[in-house]
Amino acid sequence: MAGGHRLLLENAQQVVMVCARGERFLARDALHSLAVLEGASLVVGTDGFIKAIGRADAIQTLFSEETFEERIDCSGKCILPGLVDAHTHPVWAGERVHEFAMKLAGATYMEIHQAGGGINFTVEHTRQASEEELFCSLQQRLQCMMRAGTTLVECKSGYGLNLETELKMLRVIERARRQGPIGISATYCGAHSVPKGKTATEAADEIINNHLPKLKELGSRGEIHVDNIDVFCEKGVFDLNSTRRILQSGKDLGLQINFHGDELHPMKAAELGAELGAQAISHLEEVSDEGIAAMATARSSAVLLPTTAYMLRLKQPRARKMLDEGVIVALGSDFNPNAYCLSMPMVMHLACVNMRMSMPEALAAATINAAYALGKSHTHGSLEVGKQGDLIIINSSSFGGLQSTTVWKQVSLMICQVPLSDE
Ligand code: NIG
Ligand code: FE
């Protein structure tokens, strides 16, 4: 039966499907489950969903009577799922170059933070910036991410701390989400730092009693859409008790828990996250063995951030142990003024070299597992019939070209995001 389709990608050297198993994918199984089709083609329908994937000759026979709005010859190239960046702070003003010099001279991240720099410095500048200025810089950053292959990205607020600026940041994120084409998962991170003059308990009270009800009101009016709630659970920032109260209140509003934990000090954040049913916990350089086991059981994913461990000279998160224990390991760039990385291929490269992940594991962590961390693995993160036509074509004959050569030579790539239609 003849019919029309949006896109035919034909004759790819490799189509790397990164098969999801149900809703999730353990990167541990990546070597066995990474389905790589050689000499294959892929069809996306006019509704924006993948219709078929298979050997090029089989697809040609099956669709011989049908028409395509666009055909792309992918000979010698690889088709991969669009990359998913599971942790970023992309809305801010004010450079922190001077802090790099301080760090090189021996200052730690927390010493700078406690002296009023770090996040607090960025808060001052972000409060002063106009909404338009923040939107323009966000757009530029998102475009750079897309040029490096990211098609879905988590975006946090958290450089406002007060309600006014947190809402300004969330409006900016909402505007970018509506504008597209990059997919956005929005995170309220009002507990990124304790505002000057307040205790953590007072800041938590303010968030629970004032910020969260306002988010609920704006959400029900369709003005902003927030997916996740985040807290920086760290010694000298939000302790375990305040973290618990904030996360639980966010969860009660229907937000997914996705927070910073066990980064600089062991806090038992992983244990708390598992107990609360967190979708994701980020950083985890200092996670305990018990925390790893609890995350595996609770299916709380670990979002590892190789750029931060590198920039701050932290010990590496124990990716191998997490993978062996069955934790769903994802990756994020942690793009922020301290770790200025917009490239997921670079993140995968660092994960391979510094965290000893294999290339298939790093690819699964930057696609299906990162989509899982954002609660979107049913629509994103793998190439499967019925999922969104959200993919990249890389100019390399093997998917590893994306991660192995990225430091020395940016592999050129093309993004294909077919918009969803209502038909
Ligand atoms: O994930 N650790 C807390 N938040 C960010 C850093 C934010 C900043 O330094 O501006 C992170 O690394
Ligand atoms: Fe972060």
Residue 378 domain-assigned (yes or no): no
Tell whether the model's pLDDT for residue 345 goes beyond 60.
yes
Residue 142 domain-assigned (yes or no): yes
Closest-CA residue, ligand 1 atom 10, reads 119
pLDDT of the residue at 257: 98
Query: Mean pLDDT across the stretch 264-292?
Result: 98
Closest-CA residue, ligand 1 atom 3, reads 232
Tell whether the model's pLDDT for residue 2 goes beyond 90.
no
pLDDT of the residue at 417: 84
Query: Mean pLDDT across the stretch 290-307?
Result: 97
Tell whether the model's pLDDT for residue 27 goes beyond 60.
no
Across 55-59, 201-205, 337-341, 411-415, least confident range: 411-415
pLDDT of the residue at 32: 54
Instruction: Count CA atoms closer than 13 A to 49's CA, side-chain side.
Output: 11
**ipTM here:** 0.98
Q: 70 and 92: one domain?
A: no
pLDDT of the residue at 421: 82
pLDDT of the residue at 33: 61
pLDDT band at 413 (very low <50, low <70, confident <90, very high): confident
- Name the average pLDDT for the chain: 93
Cα–ligand 1 centroid distance for 119 (angstroms): 7
Q: Under the phi-then-psi rule, with left for phi > 0, alpha for psi from -120 to 50, and beta for the rest, what region is 402?
A: alpha
Verify whether ligand 1 is closer than 6 Å to residue 334 (CB atom). yes
Residue 401 lies in domain: 4-81+383-417
Residue 2 DSSP one-character state: -
Q: 30 and 88: one domain?
A: no
Q: 76 and 89: one domain?
A: no
CATH number for position 59: 2.30.40.10
| Test site for ligand 1: of 85, 119, 154, most ligand atoms within 8 A of the Cβ | 119
Across 95-104, 364-373, 403-412, 413-422, least confident range: 403-412
Ligand 1 atom closest to 263 (CA): 2
Full-model pTM: 0.96
Angle at 364 between CA 361 and CA 366, to 5 degrees: 110
Q: Which residue has better confidence, 297 or 414? A: 297
The DSSP string of 242-262 is HHHHHHHHHHHTTPEEEEEES
CATH number for position 228: 3.20.20.140
Q: 57 and 171: one domain?
A: no
Which residues in 64-193 belong to E strands, given as ranges?
67-73, 78-81, 83-85, 150-156, 183-191
Cα–ligand 2 centroid distance for 73 (angstroms): 39
Q: 145 and 62: one domain?
A: no
Q: Which ligand is nearest to the CA of 126?
A: 1
pLDDT of the residue at 328: 92
Domain count, the chain: 2
Residue 176 domain-assigned (yes or no): yes
Residue 423 domain-assigned (yes or no): no
Q: 58 and 167: one domain?
A: no
